[in-house]
């Protein structure tokens, strides 16, 4: 005869409600862990997927995610010439926040080095990769754009040709992929008035210097649109991504690059580290602490519940002792209920979470390791919190039945 189950059956609705409450609490714990994992996944998503062995950034910076990094695009060509390197492509990333159909549209613009990179590595769930050098974009579904939408950015409209799934920036915004040139165009989009003022400033700067007096034609040239000016500086990009040749040793390439005074190279692992230890570190630690706090709270609540359940039965427990029941009978009664409560709560948390978490605005990743460790924690909490009730039950004297 299982006393624990008989008691539960007798108080079924209340026990179920309690299990439900504990389940919800555990769901929050699970969710907190999921948000933590989601944060890590979002932070390292691009680095893990873009398929770069080395990240070349502005010298001395930890770019491009941790801080601003600007390097001239022609680093690409210098890198291509280095032995052990199979390919180099520019990387441009920045956030824009605009309006589309009267809704705020916040996205992380990502430049793809057309034509080598058409976005083949992207998890496209609808539509296709980039098919032209200009005016096309691939958007993540979280942005809410539809295939065929034409999004105005700067002076152009960009047509959505592909939709990805799960491509988000480390701040949870959806990624939008453009050709590199389009991305630069969006980034350096100035209004007509700004350009006019800049032209005027250029001219007046020239007329204040002797070069302007001696070469009046130069002043005239300076008044032309920027595109008509001979390009002196290189366009700047955030980083250059390097793919190693098969069999090439990463150490030797890094060693060679360490001699370059204008750039710094990071391996993929180092880039991941920079993101996790730096960029999302505080958020990560905050979530971790919050999760720990929730676990402690769950343990306290469960202990109180089990203590109350035991107090309610204290008279029956005294009676059991009076008729000579062994301590194991009483122990099993409390412990089995604690374990069942923990188990049911966990199962509820799992299924409810499965249903609820996908509706969250940011990624919630429940992985098996987390589930296993939470299961172990719930087991531990159940046993420990039963301890308080068991301690009370053991102290009861059989003659308390008589009072």
Partner 1 sequence: MTVDSPAIRAINLSKIYGSGQAEVVAMKDVSFTMSNGEVVALLGPSGAGKSTLLTIVGLVNSPTSGKLIIGEDLITDGPIPKVNLRSYRRRFIGYVLQKANLIPFLNAVENVQLALEINDISGKGAKLRAMQLLESLDVGHRADNLPHMLSGGEQQRVAVARALANRPRLVLADEPTAALDSVRGRQVMQLFRDVAHKYGTTVLVTTHDHRSLDIFDRILEMEDGRLKDENSGNILKAV
> Which residues sit at the interface with partner 1, rule CB under 8 A?
1, 3, 6-7, 9-11, 315-316, 319-326, 329, 397-399, 401-402
Nearer to partner 1 (CB atom), residue 263 or residue 330: 330
CB of residue 320 to partner 1, shortest distance in Å: 8
| Sign for the pseudo-dihedral over CA of 40, 45, 47, 48 | positive
Phi-psi region of 344 (alpha: psi -120 to 50; beta: other; left: phi over 0): alpha
Distance CA 337, CA 307 (A): 11
The burial of 387, by beta-carbon neighbours within 10 Å (0-12 exposed, 13-18 middle, 19 or more buried), is given as: middle
Query: Token pair of 373, please?
Result: 């460790």
CB of residue 395 to partner 1, shortest distance in Å: 14
Residues 6+ positions from 304 with CB-CB distance below 8 Å: none
Nearer to partner 1 (CB atom), residue 149 or residue 316: 316
Q: CA nearest 41: which of 276, 354, 323?
A: 276
CB of residue 11 to partner 1, shortest distance in Å: 7
Is it true that the peptide bond before 115 is cis, omega within 30 degrees of 0? yes
- Provide the total of helices (H) and of strands (E) in the chain, helices listed first: 13, 12
Nearer to partner 1 (CB atom), residue 159 or residue 315: 315
CB of residue 302 to partner 1, shortest distance in Å: 21
Distance CA 35, CA 294 (A): 14
Nearer to partner 1 (CB atom), residue 3 or residue 161: 3
CB of residue 327 to partner 1, shortest distance in Å: 9
SS3 369: helix
Nearer to partner 1 (CB atom), residue 9 or residue 159: 9
Residues 6+ positions from 192 with CB-CB distance below 8 Å: none
Nearer to partner 1 (CB atom), residue 5 or residue 376: 5
CB of residue 10 to partner 1, shortest distance in Å: 4
CB of residue 386 to partner 1, shortest distance in Å: 18
Nearer to partner 1 (CB atom), residue 126 or residue 394: 394
């Amino acid at each position: 005869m299982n006393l624990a189950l008989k008691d539960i059956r007798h108080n079924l609705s209340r026990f179920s409600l309690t299990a439900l409450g504990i389940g919800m609490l555990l769901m929050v714990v699970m969710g907190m862990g999921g948000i933590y994992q989601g944060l890590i996944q979002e932070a390292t998503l691009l680095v893990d997927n873009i398929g770069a062995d080395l990240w070349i950034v502005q010298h001395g910076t930890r770019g491009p995610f941790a801080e601003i990094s600007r390097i001239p695009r022609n680093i690409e060509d210098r890198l291509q010439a280095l032995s052990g390197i199979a390919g180099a492509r520019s990387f441009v990333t920045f956030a824009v926040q605009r309006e589309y159909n009267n809704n705020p549209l916040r996205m992380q613009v990502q430049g793809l080095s057309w034509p080598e990179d058409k976005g083949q590595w992207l998890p496209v769930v609808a539509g296709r990769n980039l098919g032209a050098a200009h005016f096309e974009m691939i958007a993540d579904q979280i942005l809410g754009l539809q295939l065929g939408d034409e999004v105005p950015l700067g002076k152009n409209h960009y047509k959505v040709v592909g939709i990805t799934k799960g491509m988000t920036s480390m701040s949870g915004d959806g990624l939008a992929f453009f050709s590199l040139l389009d991305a630069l165009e969006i980034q350096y989009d100035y209004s007509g008035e700004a350009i006019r003022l800049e032209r005027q400033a250029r001219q007046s700067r020239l007329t204040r210097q002797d070069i302007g007096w001696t070469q009046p034609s130069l002043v005239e040239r300076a008044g032309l649109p920027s595109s008509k000016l001979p390009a002196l500086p290189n366009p700047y990009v955030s980083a250059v991504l390097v793919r190693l040749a098969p069999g090439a040793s990463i150490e030797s390439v890094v060693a060679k690059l360490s001699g370059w005074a204008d750039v710094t190279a990071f391996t993929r692992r180092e880039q991941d580290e920079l993101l996790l230890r730096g960029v999302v570190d505080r958020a990560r630690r905050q979530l971790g602490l919050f999760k720990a706090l929730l676990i402690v709270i769950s343990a306290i609540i469960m202990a109180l519940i089990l203590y109350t359940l035991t107090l309610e039965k204290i008279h029956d427990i005294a009676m059991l002792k009076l008729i000579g029941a062994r301590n194991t009978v009483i122990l099993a009664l409390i412990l089995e209920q604690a374990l069942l409560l923990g188990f049911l709560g966990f199962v509820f948390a799992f299924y409810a979470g499965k249903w609820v978490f996908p509706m969250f605005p940011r990624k919630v990743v429940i992985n098996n390791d987390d589930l296993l460790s939470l299961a172990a924690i719930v087991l531990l909490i159940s046993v420990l919190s039963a301890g308080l009730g068991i301690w009370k039950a053991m102290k009861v004297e059989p003659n308390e039945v008589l009072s």
